[in-house]
Amino acid sequence: MFYGGDYNPEQWPEPVWREDLALMRAAGVTVVTVGVFAWSVLEPSPGRYAFGWLDTVLDGLAGAGIRVALATPTAAPPPWFSRRHPETLPVGPDGIRRSPGSRDTYCASAPAYRAAARRLAGALAERYRRHPALALWRVHNEYGTTCHCDLTADAFRGWLERRYGSLDALNDAWTTTFWSQRYGDWAEILPPRTTQYLPNPAQVLDFRRFTSDELLDAYREQRDVLRTVAPGVPVTTNFVLGDWVPVDHLRWSREVDLVAVDHYPAESGPAAEEEAAFLADLARGWALDGTGRPDWLLMETAPNLVYTRGRMHAKEPGRMTRHALAAVARGSRGAMFFQWRAPRGGAEVFHAAMVPHAGAETRVHREAAALGATLARTAELLDAAVEARVAVGFHEPSQWALDATVLPSSAVDHRTEARLAHRALARGGLTCDVVGGLDGLSRYAVLVLPCWYLLTDEQSATLAGWVTGGGRLVATYLTGVADDRARVHPGGRAGALRELLGVRLEEVHPLAEGAGRALSGGASGSLWSETVHLTGADATIRYEDGRPAVTRHRVGSGEAWYLSTRLDDEAYVALLGAVAEGAGVLPRRPPPPAGVEVVRRTRDGRGWLVAINHGERPYDLRADGLDLLTGEAVTAGDPLRPGAAVVVREGAGP
Ligand code: GAL
Ligand code: ZN
């Protein structure tokens, strides 16, 4: 199991390294990430490498039996590099070049930067390819810098030429006849820099896709150097989710040997656990798509303080451990933290650490130190499948298109709707995969597409085939509205899906904040509502005025459902539960109360139950088997105490 964190020995004198090693060994640390932001120390001046300190660090770690995710330091070019190659500094949408003095000061389209990144990866690989500590390459850190410079503009044009072939095709795809934007020369096309008024959403969407591909090329170049020089060592890069991240992680998942994600919940209350569960199920969805295996790695998370709305909140005792186990429950190969030791200065001086400023004699360090042994006991979960017959779609390009478009309601957000669907399933006792694509549908009996805005005719046909064969599709409003160029399918929204859904959507009525619409059966809808005409479907829930709100269309041996409004929690849980039940997917146990997570893993006919009680009341787990965390038998009737977790190997036997 991976247990450790980002380790920055370059910030400390050698005596501290010795203390670090002793503390890590005592804590059962197995892997640390080294060198993420060490470029200026590794290459203090052009072409002059200083590997001595890193040799000592890696030798010390190897001696202590600790392995290393060796990072390439390319996310933070040093001042000399930026000074020498000013064109590698990113340019904002305002056209202003950013100055050195922080991190992520790179432009992925700048040849000098790309060359330096390849060179550094090569130098590290040459030096350490046979080092016994080397377990994994971690390329870069959280790829995500967008640049709007002239070099980027050139690269963008090249990407567009490859995508569209001709200016006519591009003009058509971008609907440039709107507002007189027709391009007559490739050279006229720019990245979406700050404009006088609203930009062209198709241009914004394509620029995000381009940026994702450009960054991916930069990653691949480093990966390929590492693979050539150090064959057999797995390569990854840490993903992060956020509005600012122009990365299509589904595609990237196919280029890494292990999907690794960073997770910093934006919430400090109970929603943090729901958010963490969503992200974990999403990471597993990427892993299933990319590597074909369910396992992934929580590469960074905070051991303590969570930054929410201008305040740092401490994680209560036990919460770090529960979060780590929750990730492991959902397929992570362990838990790694940012960071090992709190820095004395720098931009993140108050960020949480496994060794806080107050040192090892602290609550946080003691909890971190105990976690090593805890995680080690869960090792037999590795590669066990997570039982999930239900999926929720999360499509980053749809999110980008929705972000780039002026919608009838600015409150609509694909991320939020995906989270709500995930939560409703969880509350109904159903574990789901969160999937970014439609390639693996055969794994699932039920698929929820929440505001999955972009859908090609081909994808609609895939969905239709799957439904006809017995799948249960639940599409919410704003699903399938536009093609992959963000052009609305004609004939009423959900164009491509209309036939499958058996509805015609005539008009939208966004709802004011806090406003609701009463629905039949005592439910209520919020945020959005529509005029829906039935063209084959029947209405299962209606608006007060009798018009259809939720519809079901039986097609072949499956069903296609449409939700024209955001259902209240209770109604959503009930509806998804009923759809799943109709598909023969029943929760194995009564849905756990809020704050309790239960995930079942299986491998070769063997089952494990991971249960975590984040709540305040004991939970009746009703499981029989051996708790791997304590080594003791668990029998039905043993309550799971508040704050406790168990990993139960089901059944009797060793
Ligand atoms: C991560 C990043 C780390 C650190 C951390 C702070 O996104 O990879 O280097 O900055 O955030 O929360
Ligand atoms: Zn640039």
pLDDT digits (tens, 9 = 90+) for 192-213: 999 999 999 999 999 999 999 9
pLDDT for 203 equals 98
pLDDT tens profile 22-65: 999 999 999 999 999 999 999 999 999 999 999 999 999 999 99
Residues with CB under 6 A from ligand 1: 141-142, 240, 262, 264, 300, 338, 348, 351
Give the C-alpha distances (Å, rounded to integers) separating 637 from 196, 477, 595, 624: 66, 43, 19, 9
The region that residue 464 occupies, defined by phi over 0 for left and psi between -120 and 50 for alpha, beta otherwise, is alpha
* Pairing state between β 548-555 and 558-563: antiparallel
**Pocket residue to mutate for ligand 1, from 307, 338, 339, 341, most atoms within 8 A of Cβ:** 338
* List of residues 6+ apart from 255 with CB closer than 8 A: 216, 219, 220, 223, 290
The ligand that comes nearest to the alpha carbon of residue 110 is 2
Cα separation, 494 vs 506, in Å, equals 10
* List of residues 6+ apart from 10 with CB closer than 8 A: 35, 38, 41, 53
- Mean pLDDT computed over 214-228: 98
Ligand 1: nearest atom to the Cα of 36: 9
Q: Which amino acid is at 477?
A: Y
By C-alpha distance, which of 298, 289, 281 is closest to 333? 298
Sign of the torsion angle spanned by Cα atoms 528, 532, 536, 540: positive
**Looking at 142, 274, 367, 597, which residue is catalytic?**
142
Query: With 60 as the cut, is the pLDDT of residue 160 above it?
Result: yes
The ligand that comes nearest to the alpha carbon of residue 306 is 1
Which tokens hold the place of 474? 């639940």
- Mean pLDDT computed over 611-636: 95
Centre of ligand 1 from the C-alpha of residue 71, in Å: 14
The backbone torsions φ and ψ at residue 30, rounded to the nearest 5 degrees and listed phi first, read -110, -30
CA 77 distance to own-chain centroid:
26
pLDDT for 574 equals 98
- Mean pLDDT computed over 597-611: 96
Nearest residue by C-alpha to atom 3 in ligand 1: 338
Decide if 507 is catalytic.
Answer: no
Centre of ligand 2 from the C-alpha of residue 154, in Å: 10
Cα separation, 11 vs 62, in Å, equals 20
The H-assigned helical ranges of 338-413 are 363-376, 396-404
Centre of ligand 2 from the C-alpha of residue 203, in Å: 17
Decide if 559 is catalytic.
Answer: no
- Mean pLDDT computed over 422-431: 97
Q: What is the 3-state secondary structure (H, E, C) of 33-81?
A: EECCCCHHHHCCECCECCCHHHHHHHHHHHHCCCEEEEECCCCCCCHHH
By C-alpha distance, which of 89, 9, 19 is closest to 53? 9
Query: With 80 as the cut, is the pLDDT of residue 180 above it?
Result: yes
The ligand that comes nearest to the alpha carbon of residue 245 is 1
pLDDT for 495 equals 75
Contact present, 529 and 505 (Cβ < 8 Å) = no
By C-alpha distance, which of 220, 270, 264, 231 is closest to 245? 264
pLDDT for 455 equals 96
| Helix, strand, or coil (residue 23) | helix
pLDDT for 259 equals 98
What distance, in Å, lies between the first and last C-alpha atoms of the chain? 21
Query: With 80 as the cut, is the pLDDT of residue 368 above it?
Result: yes
Question: 414-427 vs 271-290: helix axis angle to the nearest 10?
Answer: 100
Centre of ligand 1 from the C-alpha of residue 245, in Å: 13
More confident residue, 652 or 576: 576
Nearest residue by C-alpha to atom 5 in ligand 1: 338
By C-alpha distance, which of 418, 443, 442 is closest to 277? 418
**Looking at 214, 274, 300, 367, which residue is catalytic?**
300
The backbone torsions φ and ψ at residue 129, rounded to the nearest 5 degrees and listed phi first, read -60, -30
Q: Which helix (H) or strand (E) holds 386?
A: strand 385-386
**Pocket residue to mutate for ligand 1, from 8, 10, 142, 305, most atoms within 8 A of Cβ:** 142
pLDDT for 654 equals 52
pLDDT tens profile 512-563: 999 999 999 999 999 999 999 999 999 999 999 999 999 999 999 999 999 9
Centre of ligand 2 from the C-alpha of residue 146, in Å: 8
**Pocket residue to mutate for ligand 1, from 348, 349, 350, 354, most atoms within 8 A of Cβ:** 348
* List of residues 6+ apart from 254 with CB closer than 8 A: 289, 290
pLDDT for 308 equals 84
Centre of ligand 1 from the C-alpha of residue 637, in Å: 42
Report the largest interatomic distance among the alpha carbons of the chain, rounded to a whole angstrom.
76
Nearest residue by C-alpha to atom 4 in ligand 1: 338
Query: With 80 as the cut, is the pLDDT of residue 328 above it?
Result: yes
The ligand that comes nearest to the alpha carbon of residue 261 is 1
**In percent, how much of the chain has pLDDT > 70?**
100
Please, what is the Cα angle at 427 between 422 and 433, to 5 degrees?
35
Ligand 1: nearest atom to the Cα of 141: 8
Query: With 80 as the cut, is the pLDDT of residue 492 above it?
Result: no
Nearest residue by C-alpha to atom 10 in ligand 1: 348
Centre of ligand 2 from the C-alpha of residue 649, in Å: 52
- Mean pLDDT computed over 374-397: 97
* Mean model confidence pLDDT for the chain: 96
Ligand 1: nearest atom to the Cα of 238: 8
Q: What residues have a C-beta under 5 A from ligand 2, the ion? A: 107, 147, 149, 151-152
- Mean pLDDT computed over 330-358: 97
Confidence of residue 188 (pLDDT cuts 50, 70, 90): very high
- Mean pLDDT computed over 224-249: 97
Cα separation, 352 vs 342, in Å, equals 7
Ligand 1: nearest atom to the Cα of 240: 7
Q: Residue 343: how many CA atoms within 13 Å on its side-chain side?
A: 16
Question: How much is the pTM?
Answer: 0.97
- Mean pLDDT computed over 245-264: 97
| Helix, strand, or coil (residue 114) | helix
Q: Which helix (H) or strand (E) holds 567?
A: strand 566-567
Ligand 1: nearest atom to the Cα of 37: 9
Centre of ligand 1 from the C-alpha of residue 338, in Å: 7
Give the C-alpha distances (Å, rounded to integers) separating 593 from 316, 342, 596, 621, 648: 20, 37, 6, 11, 19
Ligand 1: nearest atom to the Cα of 264: 12
Q: What is the 3-state secondary structure (H, E, C) of 209-246?
A: HHHHHHHHHHHHHHHHHHHHHCCCCCEECEECCCCCCC
Confidence of residue 479 (pLDDT cuts 50, 70, 90): very high
The ligand that comes nearest to the alpha carbon of residue 33 is 1
The backbone torsions φ and ψ at residue 349, rounded to the nearest 5 degrees and listed phi first, read -60, -30
pLDDT for 267 equals 83
Beta bridge partners of 472: 446, 559
Q: Which residue matches tokens 């381009």? A: 210
- Mean pLDDT computed over 219-245: 97
C-beta contacts of 286-289 below 8 A and 24+ residues apart: 286/239, 286/249, 286/250, 286/252, 286/253, 286/259, 286/436, 287/253, 287/258, 287/259, 287/331, 288/433, 288/435, 288/440, 288/443, 289/250, 289/253, 289/254, 289/435, 289/436, 289/437, 289/439, 289/440
- Mean pLDDT computed over 8-14: 98
| Helix, strand, or coil (residue 362) | coil
